[in-house]
Amino acid sequence: MDQFAAAAAYKDDKPSATWQEVSNAFDIPKTTLFGRLTGRHTSHEGAAKKRLSEAQEKVLVSKINQYASFNILLTPREVRGIAEMLAGEKLGVNWVSTFIRRKQGELTSKYHGYKDRLRVKANTPDTRRAFHALVKDAYASHSIKPCNIYNMDEAGFQLAFSRKTIKVAPKSYTKSQ
């Protein structure tokens, strides 16, 4: 039996005892004792209301795992978006980091390279020459005139761009999955 339950039993046995007497007998501050036993306050354990239920958190973890199985890692902003849809309310800026800390055994958050390592390895002079040869052959075989080619230099992958961004992944995630 914890201190508060013992104090409650003592107060029930001796209704004439003042809150100060019960407080002194069990070495609990009077305001804390009064608040807890009259239902005005709860312990800190119950005070931290989670925004998502355990079932919703399991759904969120399974969604993160599902994306990771397709080699798509979500950013914290994307995870928060999914969580907000599940919760039906707006979540705080730091909600994702506390969620990941709570689920340390299942999830991790770390910096992942923005560009794909295989794409960088493939960016060699030989592969670029081969690509341009294929494009030239495609133009010739389909009779495409240069005047019918538009915006060839405005789209594509940025091979020299190497920004890293934080991604959320399952703890057991490896790129080869």
42-87: pLDDT as tens digits: 555 554 567 888 899 999 999 999 988 888 889 999 999 999 999 9
Average pLDDT of the chain is 80
Domain ranges, ordered by start, for the chain = 3-47, 54-113+164-170
Q: Does domain 54-113+164-170 have CATH number 3.30.70?
A: no
3-state SS of the chain is CCHHHHHHHHHHHCCCCCHHHHHHHHCCCHHHHHHHHCCCCCCHHHHCCCCCCHHHHHHHHHHHHHHHHCCCCECHHHHHHHHHHHHCCCCCCCHHHHHHHHCCCCEEEEEEECCCHHHHHHCCHHHHHHHHHHHHHHHHHCCCCHHHCCCCCCCCCCCCCCCEEEEEEECCCCCCC
Q: What is the pLDDT of residues 128-172, one digit of tens each?
A: 888 889 888 888 888 888 788 776 555 455 555 556 778 888 888
- The pLDDT of residue 38 is 76
117-121 mean pLDDT: 70
18-46: pLDDT as tens digits? 888 888 888 888 888 788 877 776 555 55
pTM above 0.75, yes or no: no
- pLDDT (0 to 100) of residue 8: 83
The pLDDT value recorded for residue 177 is 42
